[in-house]
Amino acid sequence: MIEDIFREYDIRGIVGEDLNEESVKAIGFAFGMHLRHLGRERISVGYDARLSAPDMFEYLVSGLNYAGLRIFDIGLLPTPVGYFGVFTHKFDANIMITGSHNPKNYNGFKITIGTDSFFGAQLKTLGRQVAEFMASGVEIPTNTFCEKYNILGEYLDYFEKEFANLKNFKTPFVIDCANGAAGVTACKIVEKLGLNAKILFPEPDGNFPNHHPDPSEEKNLVDLKNAISENGLNLGFGFDGDADRIAVLTAKRNIKGDELACLLSLNMKEPKILGEVKCSQVMYDEINRRGKSFMGKTGHSNIKKAMKELGIDLAAEVSGHIYFKERYFGFDDGVYAMMRVLELVAKGIDLDAELDALPVMHSTDEIKFKTTDSAKFEIIEKFKNLAKNGISGLPAVRDMIEIDGVRLRFDDGWALVRASNTTPIIVTRFEAKSPEFRDEMQRVIMGALEEIAK
């Protein structure tokens, strides 16, 4: 069913199957009519390096034209540059055509109206409207008319002015653009500011010939790690396909998003910082020493909404989505996050030493339990009911947080079980004061999920 590709905070599907000429034109038309209903008509459309981007652009723009919108082609860009265009009020809305870190046969759409993400119930309603339109049998003609707009130039000018303090900063570092969209901005920023960066794989190429653009997978960081080691460096940055997510590496460690929040808070006065349910308890405790922490749902749309409601300065996801409201606009931008980390280093902050000083906890990476899109939420509900009555083999649950899935707090650690909003998996994570209790939580809870899924 076409509605199945309308996820919690974006549209994502397989090219040629879920996303084809008929469905994408219908998406453009249905969203265009929604925008016109709101009295808005100026929309920008950009795309990442996916091989299917030209076709998706043609079909989407045809649908938007059929709805009577004024369309601006902003070109091949990181998703955050699309956000920048609407947050600086150049356009009423933006659609970025991006498959992010999904396999190369996927693509999708991230939608913003004004400074608000278009997500949740709004996307579900749009999905129903698209299905109804497709059932009507109306054919949308191909019409790719649009105006070019150089939002990239304005974005780069902003960076050159905002980070003038880093001009000719000589500490060497590595950037891995992963043949994604990051090369479009990162290379020019390095050049404008005279930074001492070695840049890997800057050419956008939807075949991703060097490695897949997903920095949350260790195997995709091998080239970055080797470049750091071989050049005797201590800092490197990697990006996902549309550059809204960052990986930060030193010679010693891969710094996760929640650890980054702790580091970035060092350069902020009494910050209000939002984490998601996968973040370490250490992060929440550490932030509360310097300011105030909040816990929210995973996902860029959920986080942007919570940031507005709570007056948040910085938000972080473990996966590397970092959102700055302090000195920025409140959306996730991997390249901007890189610059804020460079500011820390320029101030003489030793990233490794600061993290070494934090309490030692033993955590897993995300552990994925494979299931189906139709079953994953049912499994979560059954697990919640199980947890409320206590889980055999584990101590009493001290606290149960149901913001996003279920996060169980024990005296000596915590466990998270939540359904992914983008893939047919259940995501788990475990953290404890000892590796033994971490492993025991993992063994028991993964076993419980296996039983529930039978």
Cα–Cα distances (Å) from 295 to 121, 390, 402, in that order, read 22, 24, 11
The residue behind tokens 């902020």 is 268
Q: Which residues are catalytic?
A: 100
Residue 255 DSSP SS3: strand
Pairing between β-strand 367-370 and β-strand 399-401 as defined by DSSP bridges? unpaired
Which two structure tokens, joined as six digits, stand for 398? 């001290």
Q: Across the strands, what pairs with 408? A: 400, 415
User: In whole angstroms, what is the distance from residue 69 CA to residue 13 CA?
Assistant: 25
User: In whole angstroms, what is the distance from residue 153 CA to residue 151 CA?
Assistant: 5
Residue 13 DSSP SS3: strand
DSSP string, 176-242: E-TTSTHHHHHHHHHHHHT--EEEES-S--TT-SSS-S-TTSGGGGHHHHHHHHHTT-S-EEEE-TT
User: In whole angstroms, what is the distance from residue 424 CA to residue 301 CA?
Assistant: 19
Q: Specify the DSSP class assigned to residue 305.
A: H
List phi, psi (to 5°) of 360. Answer: -80, 125
User: In whole angstroms, what is the distance from residue 445 CA to residue 437 CA?
Assistant: 12
Q: Specify the DSSP class assigned to residue 333.
A: -
User: In whole angstroms, what is the distance from residue 249 CA to residue 234 CA?
Assistant: 8
Helical pair 334-346 and 182-193, crossing angle rounded to 10 deg: 30
A 10 A CB-CB count for 1 gives 8
User: In whole angstroms, what is the distance from residue 312 CA to residue 295 CA?
Assistant: 11
User: In whole angstroms, what is the distance from residue 23 CA to residue 130 CA?
Assistant: 7
Which two structure tokens, joined as six digits, stand for 112? 């913003």
Q: Say if residues 1 and 124 touch (Cβ distance below 8 Å).
A: no
List phi, psi (to 5°) of 83. Answer: -60, -45
A 10 A CB-CB count for 61 gives 25
User: In whole angstroms, what is the distance from residue 81 CA to residue 324 CA?
Assistant: 14
Q: Is 454 exposed, middle or buried (0-12, 13-18, 19+ CB in 10 A)?
A: exposed
User: In whole angstroms, what is the distance from residue 114 CA to residue 89 CA?
Assistant: 7
